[in-house]
């Protein structure tokens, strides 16, 4: 037990270290000069050189990396070259918006995928073909295009939902921060106007973000379910007199769901990459849109912190998935209290 | 024979998968408490008959002709609701591979309870639990109360097969269909499981249809044997008669290829030359004719139905049944002479 925990921790650290090195090198291999961004286009070359010197951009890469990573670990995530803001502060302020969006997208993706995949593999025939088509289209649809389409149809066309203008209407006060989720905080504060507005503004971006992971899950769940349906134990359950639908819900879905937990990391990755585009389109004040600005301005510190954070979350998601699987899969469950006779 | 009394009455059953007819007119009658064995090589259709009776044919399979009655009641295979009420109550199934026949993520207690609850919706949790413990005790699982919360992977192969038997007898069915119940088990466990099954069905008066390729198991366990070939029952015979009164050349050939008998009789392992015809292209007449050294011209025109004994318990589909039987007798007699 202790040994496997240590092994896991070791692989987590190695993964994060590699992610930091790769992202550090790639960022600096991109053409352009952040010193120029800092001093502005009209400054002299000498001024640029001086800033380069000051920022340590002339040091060899390993030295730069060492300086960066030691500062990062001590909590100093650097500051933005473009506006001087402290990166850690910016990310802390913008994180809740992204988390709320990703959380709702995740919920939508999981629930929709479960329903579609279960009905598709139970009914097969037309349903199976339609679900397969939906999954292929969903996986191939760029979230930013879908985001725009949703705005055009539901906001501009039907006027059902608010347009792309952030998390809350301008005239509403954000609820006092407890979880950082506007919807939940508004409920805590008993502010139903803010709650319904925050929820209405979440729906479109969350749906746009949910499509890729949702389609991925549909494919995975349909494949898993049709495999489990072939298992002899399904025939045995049916031979007890249990109807086909109940057998499917109780045994097939349960067995098909377990291996899906292992893909939590992939789901998270689609949510992170998707959030970058979706947030930009919906003017969502999260870290995804911060990243887009950071890349455009060669804000090393911002981009680097985003990448490291994403890597950390990815590793965390995989770790959590492993632990969850051990909890819910009896075959992996570590028995407490030693051997049972 | 009165159809009302039969535990299982299959009349002229035909089953097709898509356009291919795999069961080509099968009649099986099983008395209450009787144990019959269906033997035949893989592809002969013996498992298909078993699944057909359960109404659990794989996708694409359907009953195209004939009728099936269980415990005197004709079964309507179009009526899913009635089928669900019948499965596990009037007829139950013990499946081939105990390793994959239990849901790996549900506890044993849960899986036994499922079989009880479905047919006894009024039973309380407590009563269901007591019944489950009683069933596990009946099939000889030690410490049944403690084992209820365990999962299939914590059970050995033999114990899992006992659990499956417990599930199958949960509602005292009239008929229990066992499809290769011991094939995946080692020989010792196999013997124990068959012994257990034997004593249980004897006590509860359950009729058993044992589907197997193992004539040895049939000879020890069953009252009557049905030999299947290419989707037809080619011979049915009382188990005590099979070794020296076999009237169909295929039965005789199957017996000849048993390792122990073959060694005794000829000193070397005999096999049946050729292979069964593909079900897409079964020849007219007797399907075994192309491989049969008894075959005469009319065999490839139409099969013959011969009743060998007065009680109609021994039938064979062979034009030369009497001659084949005489040869079997002689072979049996020779052996006895050799023993003496």
Q: Does B12 touch chain A (CB under 8 A)?
A: no
- Cβ neighbours around B326 below 10 Å, total: 13
Q: Is residue B228 part of a domain?
A: no
Q: Check CB contact under 8 Å for B104 and A330.
A: yes
Looking at residue B171, which CATH number applies to its domain? 3.40.50.300
What number is the average pLDDT over the span A45-72?
86
d(CA B340, CA B322): 27
Closest-CA distance of chain B to residue A245, Å: 11
Look at residue B264 in the predicted model and tell me its pLDDT: 62
Verify that B204 and B328 share a domain, yes or no. Answer: no
| Cα dist from A184 to A96, A192, A286, whole Å | 12, 10, 17
Yes or no: say if B103 and A235 are a contact pair by the CB < 8 Å rule.
Answer: no
Token pair recorded at residue A340: 């049972």
Chain segment B17-27, per-residue pLDDT in tens = 989 999 999 99
Question: Residue B53 — very low, low, confident or very high, per pLDDT cuts 50/70/90?
Answer: very high
Q: Check CB contact under 8 Å for A233 and B101.
A: yes
- The number of C-alpha atoms within 13 Å of A99 and in the hemisphere containing its C-beta is 14
Q: Is residue B257 part of a domain?
A: yes
- In chain A the domains, ranked by start, together with CATH numbers, are 15-73 (no CATH), 87-328 (1.10.3720.10)
Look at residue B335 in the predicted model and tell me its pLDDT: 59
Verify that B206 and B275 share a domain, yes or no. Answer: no
Token pair recorded at residue B187: 């020989």
What number is the average pLDDT over the span B32-58?
91
d(CA B23, CA B52): 10
Q: What is the mean pLDDT of chain B?
A: 87
The three-class DSSP label of residue A142 is: coil
How much is the ipTM here? 0.88
Look at residue B259 in the predicted model and tell me its pLDDT: 73
| pLDDT at residue A94 tops 80 | yes
- Cβ neighbours around A327 below 10 Å, total: 12
Which one of A122, A233, A340, A341 makes the best mutation probe of the B interface by having the most chain B beta carbons within 10 Å? A233
Look at residue B338 in the predicted model and tell me its pLDDT: 57
Chain segment A301-338, per-residue pLDDT in tens = 888 888 888 898 888 898 889 888 888 888 887 554 33
Q: Is residue B237 part of a domain?
A: no
Greater model confidence, A39 or B317: B317
What number is the average pLDDT over the span B155-181?
92
Q: Check CB contact under 8 Å for B105 and A331.
A: yes
Q: Is residue B181 part of a domain?
A: yes
Domain-ending residue, one of B154, B188, B222: B222
Verify that B193 and B113 share a domain, yes or no. Answer: yes
Contacting residues of A for B150, CB less than 8 Å apart: 340
Nearest CB to B100 within list A231, A237, A341: A231
Verify that B291 and B207 share a domain, yes or no. Answer: no
Residue partners of B93: CB distance under 8 A and separation at least 6: A235, A236, A239, B50, B54, B56, B87, B168, B176, B177, B178, B179
Cα first-last separation, chain B = 41
Q: Is residue B227 part of a domain?
A: no
- Cβ neighbours around B306 below 10 Å, total: 19
The torsion region of residue A255 among left (phi > 0), alpha (psi -120 to 50) and beta comes to alpha
d(CA A267, CA A272): 9
Minimal-distance CA residue of chain B relative to A339:
B154
Chain segment B83-124, per-residue pLDDT in tens = 999 999 999 999 877 788 999 999 999 999 999 999 999 999
Verify that B217 and B253 share a domain, yes or no. Answer: no
Question: Residue B3 — very low, low, confident or very high, per pLDDT cuts 50/70/90?
Answer: very low
Look at residue A336 in the predicted model and tell me its pLDDT: 45
d(CA A182, CA B198): 68
The torsion region of residue B175 among left (phi > 0), alpha (psi -120 to 50) and beta comes to beta
Look at residue B174 in the predicted model and tell me its pLDDT: 93
Q: How many domains does chain B have?
A: 2
Tell me the torsion sign for CA atoms A185, A188, A193, A199: positive
In terms of Cα–Cα distance, which of B74, B96, B71, B75 is closest to B84?
B75
| Cα dist from B215 to A122, B111, B227, whole Å | 39, 32, 10
Q: What domain range is B135 assigned to?
A: 3-222
Verify that B260 and B215 share a domain, yes or no. Answer: no
CA dihedral B325, B327, B330, B334 (to 10 degrees): -130
Q: Is residue B232 part of a domain?
A: no
> What is the number of residues in chain B?
340
Longest dimension (CA), chain B: 67
Q: Check CB contact under 8 Å for B102 and A236.
A: yes
| pLDDT at residue A340 tops 70 | no
> What is the bridge-based pairing of β-strands B35-39 and B61-70?
unpaired
Chain segment A148-204, per-residue pLDDT in tens = 888 889 988 888 888 787 788 777 778 887 788 888 888 888 888 888 888 888 989
CA dihedral A8, A9, A13, A14 (to 10 degrees): -30
Q: Taking the CA atoms of chain B, what radius of gyration do you get in angstroms?
A: 21
Q: Check CB contact under 8 Å for B51 and A341.
A: no
Verify that B124 and B258 share a domain, yes or no. Answer: no
Verify that B132 and B193 share a domain, yes or no. Answer: yes
Question: Residue B265 — very low, low, confident or very high, per pLDDT cuts 50/70/90?
Answer: low
d(CA A122, CA B69): 29
Nearest CB to A232 within list B86, B96, B146: B96
Look at residue A223 in the predicted model and tell me its pLDDT: 92
Look at residue A338 in the predicted model and tell me its pLDDT: 39
Closest-CA distance of chain B to residue A146, Å: 38
Element of type H or E holding A235: helix A232-239
Q: Check CB contact under 8 Å for B143 and A341.
A: yes
Verify that B203 and B300 share a domain, yes or no. Answer: no
d(CA B22, CA B44): 8
What number is the average pLDDT over the span B259-271?
66
Q: Is residue B239 part of a domain?
A: no
Q: Assign 3-class secondary structure to chain B.
A: CCHHHCCEEEEEEEEEECCEEEEEEEEEEECCCCEEEEECCCCCCHHHHHHHHHCCCCCCEEEEEEEEEECCEECCCCCHHHHHHHECCCEEEECCCCCCCCCCCCCHHHHHHHHHHHHCCCCCHHHHHHHHHHHHHHCCCCCHHHHCCCCHHHCCHHHHHHHHHHHHCCCCCCEEEEECCCCCCCHHHHHHHHHHHHHHHHHHCCEEEEECCCHHHHHHHCCEEEEEECCEEEEEEEHHHHHHHCCCHHHHHHHHCCHHHHHHHHCCCCCCCCCCCCHHHCCCCCCCHHHCCCCCHHHHCCCCCEECCCCCCCEECCCCHHHHHHHHHHHHHHHHHHHC
Q: What is the mean pLDDT of chain A?
A: 86
Q: Does B85 touch chain A (CB under 8 A)?
A: yes
Token pair recorded at residue B153: 């992977």
The three-class DSSP label of residue A79 is: strand
Yes or no: say if B20 and B62 are a contact pair by the CB < 8 Å rule.
Answer: no
Q: Quote the strand ranges of A117-202, DSSP E.
A: none
| pLDDT at residue B4 tops 70 | no
Q: Is residue B132 part of a domain?
A: yes
Q: Does B95 touch chain A (CB under 8 A)?
A: yes
Distance of CA A140 to the CA centre of its chain: 18
Verify that B117 and B252 share a domain, yes or no. Answer: no
| Cα dist from A188 to A154, A181, A185, A195, A260, whole Å | 29, 11, 5, 10, 33
Verify that B252 and B140 share a domain, yes or no. Answer: no
Verify that B124 and B256 share a domain, yes or no. Answer: no
Question: Residue B173 — very low, low, confident or very high, per pLDDT cuts 50/70/90?
Answer: very high
d(CA A286, CA A6): 34
Chain segment B117-151, per-residue pLDDT in tens = 999 999 999 999 999 999 999 999 999 999 999 99
| pLDDT at residue A110 tops 90 | yes
The torsion region of residue B43 among left (phi > 0), alpha (psi -120 to 50) and beta comes to left
In terms of Cα–Cα distance, which of A53, A25, A60 is closest to A39?
A53
Question: Residue A339 — very low, low, confident or very high, per pLDDT cuts 50/70/90?
Answer: very low
């Amino acid at each position: 037990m202790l040994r496997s925990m240590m092994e896991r921790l070791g692989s987590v650290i190695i993964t994060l270290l590699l992610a930091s090195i790769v992202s550090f090198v790639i960022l600096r291999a991109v053409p352009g000069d952040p010193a120029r961004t800092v001093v502005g286009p009209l400054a002299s070359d000498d001024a640029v050189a001086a800033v380069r010197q000051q920022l340590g951009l002339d040091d060899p890469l390993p030295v730069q990396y060492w300086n960066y990573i030691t500062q990062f670990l001590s909590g100093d995530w650097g500051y933005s070259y473009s506006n001087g803001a402290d990166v850690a502060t910016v990310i802390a302020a913008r994180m809740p918006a992204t988390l709320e969006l990703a959380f709702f997208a995740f919920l939508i993706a999981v629930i929709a995928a479960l329903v579609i995949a279960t009905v598709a593999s139970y009914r097969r025939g037309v349903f199976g073909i339609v679900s397969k088509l939906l999954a292929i289209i969903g996986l191939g649809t760029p979230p930013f295009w879908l985001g725009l389409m949703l705005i055009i149809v539901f906001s501009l066309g039907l006027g059902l939902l608010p347009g792309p203008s952030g998390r809350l209407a301008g005239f509403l006060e954000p609820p006092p921060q407890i979880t950082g989720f506007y919807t939940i905080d508004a409920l805590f504060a008993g502010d139903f106007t803010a709650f319904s507005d925050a929820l209405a503004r979440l729906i479109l971006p969350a749906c746009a973000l949910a499509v890729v992971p949702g389609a991925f899950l549909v494919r995975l769940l349909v494949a898993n379910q049709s495999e489990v349906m072939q298992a002899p134990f399904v025939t045995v359950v049916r031979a007890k007199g249990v109807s086909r639908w109940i057998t499917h819900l109780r045994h097939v879905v349960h067995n098909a769901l377990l291996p899906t937990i292992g893909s939590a990391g992939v789901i998270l990755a689609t949510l992170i990459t998707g959030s970058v585009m979706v947030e930009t389109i919906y003017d969502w004040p999260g870290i995804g849109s911060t990243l887009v600005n950071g890349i455009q301005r060669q804000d090393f510190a911002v981009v680097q912190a985003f990448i490291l954070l994403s890597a950390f979350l990815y590793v965390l998601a995989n770790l959590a998935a492993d632990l969850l699987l051990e909890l819910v899969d009896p075959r992996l469950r570590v028995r407490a209290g030693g051997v049972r006779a | 024979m009165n159809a009302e009394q039969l535990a299982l009455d299959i009349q002229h059953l035909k089953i097709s998968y898509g356009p291919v007819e795999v069961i080509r007119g099968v009649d099986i009658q099983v008395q209450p408490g009787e144990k019959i064995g269906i033997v035949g090589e893989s592809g002969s259709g013996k498992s298909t008959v078993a699944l057909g009776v359960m109404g659990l044919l794989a996708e694409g399979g359907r009953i195209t002709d004939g009728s099936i009655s269980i415990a005197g009641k004709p079964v309507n295979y179009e009526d899913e609701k009635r089928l669900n009420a019948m499965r596990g109550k009037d007829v139950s199934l013990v499946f081939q591979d105990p390793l994959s026949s239990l849901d790996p993520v549900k506890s044993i207690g849960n899986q036994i309870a499922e079989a009880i609850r479905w047919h006894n919706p009024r039973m309380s949790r407590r009563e269901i639990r007591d019944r489950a413990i009683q069933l596990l005790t009946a099939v000889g699982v030690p410490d049944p109360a403690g084992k209820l919360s365990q999962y299939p992977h914590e059970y050995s192969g033999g114990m899992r097969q006992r659990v499956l038997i417990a599930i199958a007898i949960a509602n005292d069915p009239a008929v229990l269909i066992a499809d290769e119940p011991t094939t995946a088990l080692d020989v010792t466990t196999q013997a124990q499981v068959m012994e257990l099954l034997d004593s249980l069905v004897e006590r509860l008066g359950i009729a058993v249809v044992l589907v197997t390729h193992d004539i040895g198991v049939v000879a020890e366990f069953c009252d009557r044997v049905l030999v299947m070939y290419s989707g037809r029952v080619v011979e049915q015979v009382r188990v005590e008669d099979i070794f020296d009164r076999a009237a169909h050349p295929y039965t005789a050939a199957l017996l000849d290829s048993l390792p122990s008998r073959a060694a005794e009789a000829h000193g070397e392992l005999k096999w049946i030359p050729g292979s069964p015809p593909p079900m897409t292209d079964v020849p007219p007449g007797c399907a075994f004719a192309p491989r049969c050294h008894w075959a005469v011209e009319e065999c490839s025109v139409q099969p013959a139905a011969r009743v060998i004994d007065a009680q109609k318990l021994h039938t064979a589909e062979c034009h030369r049944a009497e001659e084949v039987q005489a040869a079997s007798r002689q072979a049996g007699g020779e052996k006895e002479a050799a023993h003496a």
